[in-house]
Amino acid sequence: MSAFTRFTPLIQSLPSTIPFVGPEAIERQRGRAIAARIGANESGFGPAESVVQAMREAATGTWKYADPENHDLKQALATRLGVSAANIAIGEGIDGLLGQIVRLVIEPGMPVVTSFGAYPTFNYHVVGHGGRLVTVPYVGDREDLDGLLAAVKKENAPLVYFANPDNPMGSWWGAERIVEFAKALPETTLFILDEAYCETAPAEALPATDAFIDMPNVVRTRTFSKAYGLAGSRVGYIITTPGTAQAFDKIRNHFGMNRIGVAAAVAALADQDYLATVTARIAGSRERIAEIAGHNGLSPLVSATNFVAIDCGRDAVYARAIVDTLMSDHGIFIRMPGVAPLNRCIRVSTGPQAEMDLLEAALPNVMAKLAGGQ
């Protein structure tokens, strides 16, 4: 069947790009149910029971649109973070917010600087809005801040993206270095500091909340999808100056938030005891993943996220074989970085003990099978 012919020239020129193939699609493709869902950096530990109860109570009101001003969530975040509600913008997860940021800043042909191999959904939005990606290789499995800064200045780029801690490698830079990078940028360059994994990071990786509060060219993106266990609710937020935050009101979907998800986010912020418990469980699971990797002759990288990147010691073909065999033979879903040299690694999300047990039992069989096939 032919496609509609009056799409814009940009849309007609783009491939059908899917940044990530979802685990449900993988189940359908392979005809096998997933036994251990440890590939999408979700939290298998789930949300707090207090959050689940808040969602139950909110469900009866789901016939109503959510508050388009997101007042209660902004106030709860402001209280938690020690900023004004005017410093916050709310969106449908970081993915939705990234699309809005690109729309705010980028016109067709404009350069956008990011790391080669970093979060592909950001690239997806840039290309979809006609931007021109300028990529900088990782150095030592970390994003190269000096290289990113040099690329911004060379291209006079209006937008630069950097995640700290990083996805897909789990590495990070210290807060002082991040602040130094931000202050070295031209004032005409908007800096997206993606802090999706801030709750699992060491304190020294996170700049103070007020570090950029007077810098309108810095936006910090955060989410409830990771440590708070609300990936399916699609709730993200931005911390920035009031003027920059207000710009989102010009383009955002004012009724885009779902009422149950917003109620869940407010309840999650109120239950910091659970957050402390789950981040400890994530740290414990990272250690378990590292041990499993080491016992199978693989090299885990130090991680500040809810996943561990594991160096398989060979190339992307070998790493892909591990990913595919874990799924096809054992129903264990993991992922891997998409570009060299990062794709020598596999990436395993933290999860409950039962899923770690499945990984521990399956990985030796996978490694032996691949060794036997050589």
Neighbour count for residue 75 (Cβ, 10 Å): 14
CA dihedral 102, 170, 206, 256 (to 10 degrees): 40
Angle at 40 between CA 30 and CA 35, to 5 degrees: 50
Percent of the residues in the chain that have a pLDDT greater than 70, as a whole number: 99
Per-residue pLDDT for 5 more than 80? no
> What's the whole-number mean pLDDT along residues 271-284?
98
> What's the whole-number mean pLDDT along residues 41-67?
97
Predicted TM-score of the model (pTM) = 0.95
At CB < 8 A and 24+ separation, what contacts does 172-175 make?
Answer: 172/142, 172/201, 172/202, 172/205, 172/304, 173/142, 173/143, 173/145, 173/205, 174/204, 174/205, 175/204, 175/205, 175/206, 175/207, 175/208, 175/211
How far apart are the C-alpha atoms of 56 and 257, rounded to whole Å?
Answer: 17
pLDDT of residue 6: 84
- Give me the helix-helix angle, 272-295 and 353-372, nearest 10°: 20
How far apart are the C-alpha atoms of 63 and 248, rounded to whole Å?
Answer: 26
Q: What are the DSSP calls for 26-76, one per residue?
A: HHHHHT---SEE-SS---TT---HHHHHHHHHHHTTTTSPPPTT-HHHHHH
Domain with CATH 3.90.1150.10 in the chain: 20-46+273-372
Mean pLDDT, the chain, whole residue set: 96
Domain with CATH 3.40.640.10 in the chain: 49-270
Burial class (CB in 10 A: 0-12, 13-18, 19+), 283: middle
Per-residue pLDDT for 2 more than 80? no
Q: Are 226 and 200 in contact (CB under 8 A)?
A: yes
Q: Read off the pLDDT of residues 343-369 as tens digits, 9 standing for 90 and up.
A: 999 999 999 999 999 999 999 999 999
Residue 165, preceding bond cis, omega within 30 degrees?
Answer: yes
Q: Which residue shows structure tokens 């193939």?
A: 21
Per-residue pLDDT for 207 more than 80? yes
Neighbour count for residue 154 (Cβ, 10 Å): 11
Q: Are 275 and 292 in contact (CB under 8 A)?
A: no
Neighbour count for residue 335 (Cβ, 10 Å): 20
CATH topology of domain 49-270: Aspartate Aminotransferase; domain 2 (3.40.640)
pLDDT of residue 11: 87
pLDDT of residue 339: 96
Residues 6+ apart with CB under 8 A from 79: none
CATH topology of domain 20-46+273-372: Aspartate Aminotransferase, domain 1 (3.90.1150)
Q: Read off the pLDDT of residues 14-37 as tens digits, 9 standing for 90 and up.
A: 888 888 888 999 889 888 899 999
Q: What are the DSSP calls for 280-333, one per residue?
A: HHHHHHHHHHHHHHHHTT-EEPP-SSSEEEEE-SS-HHHHHHHHHHHHHHH-EE
Per-residue pLDDT for 263 more than 90? yes
Residues 6+ apart with CB under 8 A from 107: 130
